[in-house]
């Protein structure tokens, strides 16, 4: 079975059949209706979109690129100086969503409810816990020296960090005016 999110909806492909959902409906609920199973902590499509958006915001914020004026990269420029989430190539958005879904699924399999605010208290007035998780996933999986493990979440923070670190590192670059993840 393959779960794939597209903007504001989702689809499930299984045994040659495809089903689609509607915004706000949890993927977990829909899969149960279809007789399928996937552990996504009953995140709604809007919550997953928020998670992925902040994963990409962290990618842009924490990364640099070489401009045409400096092709050797002697003076790298922060990507978020010139680009935002809307500049991420479509295939990279899909790849980011799949990585985020895999992470949420692995956390759920490990018995970790990412939406539990007792385990994960909100640390920012500006961002929800879900947004912060997206941000922390990018930072932790890519070894940026910050992320889940340094938020004071204790043992559950260590477990979530280990799940994130088990994912291969993801690179980011600007190619042809688009931000590309690889």
For residue 25, is pLDDT > 80?
Answer: no
| Euclidean distance between CA atoms 48 and 152, whole angstroms | 24
* Dist. CA 94–CA 72, nearest whole Å: 30
The whole-chain average pLDDT of the chain stands at 81
pLDDT at 4 over 70: no
What is the rounded CA–CA span in Å between residue 116 and residue 50? Answer: 16
Say whether 26 sits in a helix, a strand or coil: strand
**Beta partners for 13?**
2, 18
Model confidence pTM above 0.85: no
Q: Give CA–CA dist 144/138, Å, rounded.
A: 8
């Amino acid at each position: 079975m393959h779960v794939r999110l597209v903007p504001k909806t989702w689809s499930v492909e299984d045994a040659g059949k495809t089903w689609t959902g509607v915004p706000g409906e949890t993927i977990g609920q829909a899969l149960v209706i279809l007789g399928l199973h996937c552990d996504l902590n009953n995140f709604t499509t809007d919550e997953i979109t928020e998670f992925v958006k902040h994963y990409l915001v962290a990618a842009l914020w924490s990364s640099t690129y070489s401009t045409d004026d400096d092709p050797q990269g002697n003076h790298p420029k922060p990507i978020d100086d010139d680009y935002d989430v809307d500049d991420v190539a479509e295939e990279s958005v899909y790849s980011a969503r799949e990585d985020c879904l895999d992470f949420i699924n692995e956390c759920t399999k490990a018995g970790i409810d990412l939406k539990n605010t007792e385990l994960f208290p909100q640390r920012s007035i500006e961002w929800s816990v879900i947004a912060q998780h997206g941000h922390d996933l990018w930072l932790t999986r890519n070894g940026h020296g910050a992320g889940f493990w340094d938020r004071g979440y204790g043992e559950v923070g260590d477990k979530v960090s280990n799940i994130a670190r088990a994912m291969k590192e993801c690179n980011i670059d600007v190619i042809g005016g688009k931000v590309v993840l690889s």
